[in-house]
Chain A
Amino acid sequence: MAATLPARLGHAASHADSPQQPLDIYVQGLHKRYGHRRVLRDVSLAVPSGSITVLFGPNGAGKTTLLRILAGLLRPDGGEVCVAGCRLPAERSLLHARVGFASHQPLLYPDLTVEENLRFYAELFALPQATYAVERALDLVGLAPRRRDPVRTLSRGLQQRAALARAILHDPPVLLLDEPDTGLDDPGLEVLHRLLRLPAAGGGPSGRPRTVLLTTHSLERGLALADRVLLLLDGRIAGEWPAGPEITDELRARYRAGKP
């Protein structure tokens, strides 16, 4: 599932820990425009397999656009993108079987129950044991008691849990999460933390740690989760650090400055 990191890959390669470390997300020279506005400028990054990478950035920095491109929802204007071994946009359909995506919108049908939503997506993913997958996802996010409630009747935090259940339903080896902590209370955040550390059972070698790229506005929450930290400012990767207490001050200063 993972690609390895060839030495010739240049900028993105310099970000990884080892020249032969397997990568699940690899981006080189990515550009994206909305009309005349350049949203992403020459973005290069590499996310090693099994790591949790947290992408920080102020509003409008391009985080959501970057994650939507990585999830195959947007077409890049230029650059190379390889996620979970799939080159984008050419191998988008295969990518969707290997990647789970959740954003601050639930992406669910409000008039279907939680269970109906998950069963619907289980059918779209043509999961071999759809009932088991739905039960497992419901249990993991703690929504089993509310399974028969229409999504529109759930609170914002419970809707976000349902969205997380949808994202992990097919047990993907790679998770892309755009502000997944939106609306979550403390028990909800515990669920999120547990999900992020849960190995992918079916998407790769048994027990293989999941690769996660997530965005959040909470520095404390993000740093508590992260193995690696990226900072996106004005459409450019402005810094990359391995997790550790020493990065906090520098990250905080550059994040607040808001310019690359």
Chain B
Amino acid sequence: MNCVRGTGLVNPEGWNQAPRPVWRKSTVCVLRQLRALLWKDLVLEYRTRELLSAMGVFGLLTLVVFNFALDLRAESGEAVIPGVLWSSIAFAGVLGLGRSFAQERDRGSLDGLLLAPVDRGLIYLAKVLANALFMLAAEVVLLGALAILFNLDVLRPALLTPMLLGTLGLAGAGTLLAAVAANTRAREILLPVLLFPLLTPVVIGAVQTTGAVLFGAPLQGTPPWSALLVTYNAVIVALSYIMFDAVLED
């Protein structure tokens, strides 16, 4: 199925009065494009393993450093471990997110993407999904390390909710800002400086819900953290989808 069809523009009155081209874009086409964009990122990561290895190793190192710095085996561990986990995820995520658009720009393939008749918002969505998948893979490693280091039961289905919502929030905001930062020379510095303030609601919400699942901490009397995460994700992804065209401009 062809995504784009247009009327001919030959018009004796001149091009200014020519009939306007017709856009016909079916859902099937959009899904086909989204699948192709996602496939490309997954295959490239499978072949190079650049992002996963960097995020996994950096996340583990952060976890170990926190372990020595805060003595997480002590009684205070219950209160601190969710925060340590999400700090490690955020630091590792920034590393991977920063590379996602920098790679495209460095190898010149971003222009190739922009030359295809694809909504730029769709490029954003595909990157968010790919980055979220990479981050989830790194989180599996981190949760495994957490289970071994602190004898925690992490095999709880309820843990999926904070992990998925928190990761989507990180990837949603991070992918937009990674595209902004990729246009600059100081992108390695700019991304964390821009991203961490924006991530504050996600990290707080994810830490609270993760703590509640892991240690049964009471959520009564506190803000509805899962609803906050859902709202944040919806707003950030929708805004980024709309803004992405302007972000990639020039």
Q: Which residues of A contact B (CB under 8 A)?
A: 1-6, 8-9, 20, 22-23, 26, 71-75, 82, 85-87, 91, 93-94, 96-98, 101, 103, 105-112, 116, 120-121, 123-128, 166
Instruction: Please encode chain B, from 17 to 52, with 1 for each CB lying within 8 Å of some chain A CB and 0 for all others.
Output: 010010100000100110111011001100110000
Q: Tell which of B9, B44, B109, B116 touches A85, judged by Cβ atoms closer than 8 Å.
A: B9
What residues on B are CB-neighbors of A110 within 8 Å? 107
**A125-B18 in contact (CB<8A):** no
Closest residue on chain B to residue A121 by CB atoms: B116
Q: Report the Cα distance A122→B32, complex, angstroms.
A: 10
Q: Tell which of B9, B32, B108, B117 touches A96, judged by Cβ atoms closer than 8 Å.
A: B117
- Tell me how far the C-beta of A161 lies from the nearest C-beta in chain B, rounded to whole angstroms: 15
Report if B76 contacts A (CB, 8 A): no
Q: Report the Cα distance A223→B158, complex, angstroms.
A: 70
Interface centre among B6, B8, B23 (most CB of A within 10 A): B6
**B117-A120 in contact (CB<8A):** no
**B8-A85 in contact (CB<8A):** yes
**A2-B10 in contact (CB<8A):** yes
Closest residue on chain B to residue A117 by CB atoms: B112
**A20-B33 in contact (CB<8A):** no
Q: Tell which of B12, B29, B32, B249 touches A75, judged by Cβ atoms closer than 8 Å.
A: B249
**B112-A108 in contact (CB<8A):** yes
**A120-B11 in contact (CB<8A):** no
Interface centre among A26, A97, A116, A123 (most CB of B within 10 A): A123
- Tell me how far the C-beta of A65 lies from the nearest C-beta in chain B, rounded to whole angstroms: 11
What residues on A are CB-neighbors of B40 within 8 Å? 109, 112, 120
Closest residue on chain A to residue B45 by CB atoms: A111
Closest residue on chain B to residue A93 by CB atoms: B117
Chain B residues with a Cβ closer than 8 Å to the other chain, count: 43
Q: Which residues of B contact A (CB under 8 A)?
A: 1-4, 6, 8-16, 18, 21, 23, 29, 32-33, 35-37, 39-40, 43-44, 47-48, 107-109, 111-119, 249-250
**B6-A126 in contact (CB<8A):** no
- A128 in contact with B35 given A94-B21, A116-B43 (CB within 8 Å): no
- A123 in contact with B44 given A6-B13, A22-B10, A97-B4 (CB within 8 Å): no
Interface centre among B4, B36, B37, B112 (most CB of A within 10 A): B112
**A126-B15 in contact (CB<8A):** no
- A124 in contact with B2 given A4-B15, A111-B47 (CB within 8 Å): no
**A112-B6 in contact (CB<8A):** no
22 residue pairs from A and B, CB less than 8 Å apart: A1-B6, A4-B10, A4-B11, A5-B14, A74-B250, A75-B250, A82-B15, A85-B18, A93-B23, A94-B23, A94-B117, A103-B111, A107-B112, A109-B40, A109-B44, A110-B107, A120-B40, A121-B116, A123-B32, A123-B33, A124-B36, A128-B2
Q: Report the Cα distance A140→B195, complex, angstroms.
A: 46
**B111-A107 in contact (CB<8A):** yes
Q: Report the Cα distance A97→B23, complex, angstroms.
A: 11
Q: Report the Cα distance A123→B122, complex, angstroms.
A: 13
What residues on A are CB-neighbors of B250 within 8 Å? 74-75
What residues on A are CB-neighbors of B8 within 8 Å? 1, 85
Closest residue on chain B to residue A86 by CB atoms: B21
**B115-A73 in contact (CB<8A):** yes
What residues on A are CB-neighbors of B9 within 8 Å? 1-3, 85
Q: Tell which of A2, A9, A93, A111 touches B4, judged by Cβ atoms closer than 8 Å.
A: A93
What residues on A are CB-neighbors of B109 within 8 Å? 107-109
**A71-B115 in contact (CB<8A):** yes
**A94-B6 in contact (CB<8A):** yes
What residues on B are CB-neighbors of A93 within 8 Å? 4, 23, 117-119
What residues on A are CB-neighbors of B36 within 8 Å? 120, 123-124
Q: Report the Cα distance A112→B37, complex, angstroms.
A: 13
- Which 6 pairs between the two chains have the least Cβ-Cβ distance? A3-B15, A85-B9, A6-B14, A123-B36, A107-B112, A124-B116
